[in-house]
Structures are given as C-alpha cells and as structure tokens.
Amino acid sequence: MNVIIVDYNSGNISSVINSFKKVAKDKVNITVTADLNKIKSTDKVVLPGQGSFKSCIDALNKINGLTDTLNEFAITNKKPLLGICVGLQMFADIGYEETETKGLGWIAGKVSKINNQNGKYKLPHIGWNQIDIVKDSKIFKDIKNNSHMYFVHSYEFIPEDKNVISATTDYSSNIVCSVEKENIFGTQFHPEKSDKLGLKIIDNFISL
Amino acid sequence: MLKNRIIPCLDVKNGRVVKGINFVDLKDAGDPVEQAKIYSDGGADEICFLDITASNENRDIIYDVVEKTSKKCFVPLTVGGGIRSVEDINKLLNCGADKVSINTAAVENSKVVLDSSKKFGSQCIVVAIDAKKNGDSWEVFTHGGRNNSGIDALQYAKQMEKNGAGELLVTSMDRDGTQVGYDIDLMSKISSKVNIPIIASGGVGNLDHLVDGIKMGKASAVLAASIFHYGKHTVKEAKEYLDSKGIPVRI
C-alpha cells in the first residue's frame, strides 16, 4: 500500500508527515511528493493545506498538471483522498478568503468566513472542540461521538448537499468539520495534532 | 463547545530543560523531549518551548529538540525565543513546530509578522507581548524583558492583530516568577481590545490562578511553567480543577 502526501508548498506539512509515518510504521509506504506519475499510481492521496484558500489554490496551480492529476485520481478513478483543513476547503466550488477564488469543485459549495457574531466569538477558531458525528463515516471507525479534535481556522466549508456532512462542531453555529462523498474524505480539524484519537482517524484512512 | 487550553511551558537552554518536572521515572530529567512527552500523555492541550539559549553557536540545538519532539508528541507545539526572521520561522516549522512565538523581532520589525503570516498563515504566528505596568498603562518590553520599547501594550496588541498574528501570548513582567497570579487587568483589557485569542502567562502559583485567568482575564488559554514543575500539580489535576469550577476543558 502506498500513500502520497501531496507536497505543493502549501505551508507547514511536517506534522502531517510525522503523524502518518508514526501510524504507518512499516506496513504502509508514505511518500511526500508532487510528482504526477507517482500520484497517478499511488493507492491513496492526502491533500494538506495551510494558510489561505487562495494561497493553497495558487500553489496547486503553480505545479503544472497537478490539479488535472488530482481530478483524475479522485473523480475519474475514484481512489481514496483525504483533505485536511484548507485541503478539505479546496473541495468547494469557490472560496472567499482574500479574494473570490475558484476551488477544485469536487463537492458543490462555498468557503466563507465564520460568522463571529460581531466579535462575540474570537477568530481564528483555535483549540480543542468536540465533533458531533452526524453520519457514519469510514474514517470515524471506533471514534466516539463528542470526541475532541484540534481546530485552527477562520473559514468554513458550506456544502450544498448536506448529505456529504459527516460531522459538525459548535462554534457560533454548527460548522461543518468533516465530509465524506464516496471516495473523498475531508476534515476541517487537524487529525495530525489531535492526539491519539486523531492518529486513529489517520489509521482508519490508511486502513480503508 | 470550544475548550479552554492548558499549555505547559518548558524553558530550554542549550538543548536542556532549565526547570522541569522532577519525576523519578524520568531517565533524563533535563531532556525536553521526554518532558514534552509526559505533558502530552498527561493531557496537555499544547506544548510550548521557550528557547533561552544565550550564545549564538548553540542556537541550532533547538531545531534538533523540536524535530525529535514532533515525532513523539501529536498535540500542537509552539516554539519561541530568539526568532529573528522569516527564515528562522521557516526552519522551525520544517522541523515540526506548529506555531512560533515572536517577541523582540515583532517589535523591531513589524514586517516579520506581516510577511510570516502571509507566507505560513496566521494560524502559526503567535506574537508574544511582555508587558510591564507603568501608571495606568502597560509598556512592551523586548530582549527577554531587558529593554523597554516604550510602546503601549494595548495599541501594540491591536496592531499585531492587524499585521496577521493568529494569537497573542501576553506575559505580565510584574507577575512573572512571583506566583501571585496573572495580571488580570492586563489580560482582560487586551482580550477585550482584540478579536484573536489570547494566552495568559506570568505569575501562576496555584490552580485558582488558572481559573481567574480564564474567567476574569478572558483568556482562551493559560500558560504555566512552575506549577507543573517538580510535580506540584499535574496537567490532569489542573483540568479537573477547572472542570469543577465550570470551565470547559478537554478531559
């Protein structure tokens, strides 16, 4: 089994790499690359993302053919892909951070700023919050409802089809924090920083 | 519901913990990696390293410490002390730090905060404010508390938010090391002034001080060093105490 963590200069991904390597041990090969041929032939892809929606999309587009290759992997060939944080947000059609930016368009919807209710809620939403699991997701195997996960973000993904939502978290409103659509998975929180339960989610994805 | 965070802080000098947990089962009490692991296993919501290495030739040791820690601890790791440039930040993040805390460099050159938050995202940029009371206001100090910049701490906090800081780590220099509690007035004034989370620091002597920092100081997170050292309190005890006082924590 081969898992690729896409390295497209989206900011700091060392924690993602460390956590996947820790979980994978010797049973799974973890490769960090943006090599198109390697992505085409791998079993699973992890799409991390830090910084802004726009900076991540720009970084993806800077690598010639990467978006097409990811499209082919996740949409045409329907192979498992996990997006983390902005990695998940990029599934949307459109994002509004910095400026209006076109997303990957894999899951219909938009990414907008969390409504902080005129300063009542601080942004970024930083820290440990509980997740409300609203549908069975393969990556939540053995994860109890209301488990704590580590969040850090100011923008939220609002999908059109609510059936893709697998978990929400309560911060000013019910924020979508996990999605599953066929072979496409995403978490707004950081499993790589969510202690043992986060590592379990990574394990669940690797074991799919 | 979002939980308030408890962040143990370890002072690291030349790669060794200066004050630390004094546990008998520790193989090497001075090893920051081992101590960080104990904290994260004990339920710490984040770990903070403050590098107080004075000499330049030993400055690179912290990178090795961060790299080893990030392979063992899977909670957020913040590293501060001696960060001068965007390149320093880049190196720390590449070694596995999740956030960096910038102090002197943010005062001397506000572009560091602007540039680094643009490059790496606000989520990993913490601006550390060392503040000392002067009459009715507070002034920002730099260089580990040695130099008075004369800048008003509240104005500065607002400016750092604008420049792209994701969080503010506010230390009262009057209280630091005294164990008489946080400067609640300072914490609550800064917290009300900005819309980003603040981490209260400086002066914790008992668990009630942590409660006060959150309830009255309006801090999102509380940082403490000495109460967790020498086994006075565990992070678990601190969390259970906060929970008993109605403060939401991750247990």
The question of whether A192 is a catalytic residue gets the answer yes
Task: Give residue B157's Cα distance to chain centre.
Answer: 15
- H/E stretch holding B170 reads strand B167-172
Residues of chain A with pLDDT under 50: none
* Nearest residue, CB atoms, A50 vs list B120, B167, B220: B120
Task: Report the alpha-carbon distance of residue B224 to residue B166 in Å, rounded.
Answer: 20
Strand partners, A23: none
The reply to whether B196 touches chain A by the CB within 8 Å rule is yes
- pLDDT value of position B229: 79
Nearest-CA neighbor of A152 among A187, A188, A116?
A: A188
Please report the sign of the dihedral spanned by the C-alpha atoms of residue A100, residue A105, residue A110, residue A111. negative
- pLDDT value of position B20: 54
Task: Report the alpha-carbon distance of residue A134 to residue B112 in Å, rounded.
Answer: 42
Instruction: Supply A47's token pair.
Output: 């799409």
Task: Report the alpha-carbon distance of residue B209 to residue A14 in Å, rounded.
Answer: 35
Task: Report the alpha-carbon distance of residue B173 to residue B176 in Å, rounded.
Answer: 5
Q: Judging by DSSP bridges, how do beta strands B221-224 and B5-13 pair with one another?
A: parallel
* Residue B19 identity (one-letter amino acid): K
> Which positions in chain B touch A18 (Cβ < 8 Å)?
70-71, 74, 96
Q: Which residues contact A166 (CB under 8 A, 6 or more apart)?
A: A133, A134, A135, A136, A137, A139, A140, A178, A179, A180
- pLDDT value of position B21: 55
- pLDDT value of position B212: 98
B162 in Cβ contact with B118 (< 8 Å): no
Question: Three-state DSSP class for A178?
Answer: strand
B142 in Cβ contact with B108 (< 8 Å): yes
- pLDDT value of position B29: 66
- Residue of A85, A97, A153, A180 marked active site: A85
- Residue of B45, B88, B130, B212 marked active site: B130
Query: What's the CA angle centered on A92, arms B163 and A41, to 5 degrees?
Result: 105
ipTM value:
0.94
Residues of chain B with pLDDT under 70: 19-29
The residue whose two tokens read 């912290």 is B62
The residue of chain A nearest to residue B117, with distances taken between CA atoms, is A51
pLDDT tens digit sequence for A65-114: 999 999 999 999 999 999 999 999 999 999 999 899 999 999 999 999 99
Are B71 and A130 inside 8 Å of each other by CB?
no
pTM of the complete model? 0.96
The reply to whether A1 touches chain B by the CB within 8 Å rule is no
What structural domains and CATH numbers belong to chain B? Answer: 5-244 (3.20.20.70)
Nearest-CA neighbor of B168 among B239, B97, B82, B99?
A: B99
Nearest-CA neighbor of B90 among B110, B56, B72, B66?
A: B66
Nearest-CA neighbor of B126 among B175, B163, B174?
A: B163
Task: Report the alpha-carbon distance of residue A63 to residue A41 in Å, rounded.
Answer: 18
With 0-12 / 13-18 / 19 or more C-beta atoms within 10 angstroms meaning exposed / middle / buried, residue A146 is: exposed
- pLDDT value of position A27: 85
What structural domains and CATH numbers belong to chain A? Answer: 2-206 (3.40.50.880)
> Which positions in chain A touch B40 (Cβ < 8 Å)?
195
The residue whose two tokens read 């002597």 is B205
A151 in Cβ contact with A169 (< 8 Å): yes
Task: Report the alpha-carbon distance of residue B146 to residue B169 in Å, rounded.
Answer: 18
Task: Report the alpha-carbon distance of residue B104 to residue B88 in Å, rounded.
Answer: 13
Question: Three-state DSSP class for A137?
Answer: coil
